[in-house]
Amino acid sequence: MQCVRKKPKRSKSQELLHNEQSPNITSVNLQFLGMDGDQDLNFLLKGTELVKVRSASWRKVRFYKLQEDCKTVWHESKKNLRPKHTFSIEDVECVRPGRHTEGLRKYTEETMEMRAFSILFKGHRKNLDLIASTEEEARHWVSGLEKIISNMSKLSQEQRTEQHP
């Protein structure tokens, strides 16, 4: 039986190098997508806490953040055994503002309409139903994700793979 261990953390020098390069990588990727200086994307890059809704009793606060590659969203999870805490924007079919999925209509109050949104994935993956702290946060997430999806769909397959890591 294998032991389950967390990945080793970066050394101080590796962390400093990563922090130096991160804004440069992000800037290059935003320029590549034609979205440099976009307020919604800058908001997503900083990240926010959102409430993930699965049922009437299952609601978890998770930190969500757009990665530096501008095509992957990372989210916090308490499950150490789970291999991936990310999803690709390319796997997202659409983003729906409001309580328009069955789960959000069933498990949230009408007063949350402007703070709620859902990420619908391609294929058989479950929807991701989320509630932001404010209406403004929800607007940033919906608008930012829609812009990335739209701009990425305009890129050819070759251009998508050329995008910087």
CB atoms within 10 A of CB 48: 17
Task: Give the span between the Cα atoms of 115 and 35, in whole angstroms.
Answer: 25
Where in the sequence is the domain holding 50, given as residue range(s)?
A: 38-156
Percentage with pLDDT > 90 across the chain: 47
The domain total for the chain is 1
pLDDT single digits (tens) 49-101? 999 999 888 999 999 999 888 889 998 877 766 667 889 999 999 999 999 99
Q: What's residue 145's pLDDT?
A: 95
Q: Is residue 163 part of a domain?
A: no
Mean pLDDT along residues 3-25: 53
Task: Give the span between the Cα atoms of 105 and 123, in whole angstroms.
Answer: 22
Q: Is residue 54 part of a domain?
A: yes
Q: Is residue 161 part of a domain?
A: no
Q: What's residue 116's pLDDT?
A: 96
Q: Residue 146: is its pLDDT beyond 90?
A: yes
Mean of the per-residue pLDDT values of the chain:
80
Q: Residue 2: is its pLDDT beyond 50?
A: no
Q: Is residue 13 part of a domain?
A: no
Q: Is residue 5 part of a domain?
A: no
Q: Is residue 115 part of a domain?
A: yes
CATH code, domain carrying 121: 2.30.29.30
Which among 20, 12, 25, 14 is positioned nearest to 67, based on CA atoms?
Answer: 25
Prediction pTM value: 0.75
Say if residues 138 and 116 touch (Cβ distance below 8 Å).
yes
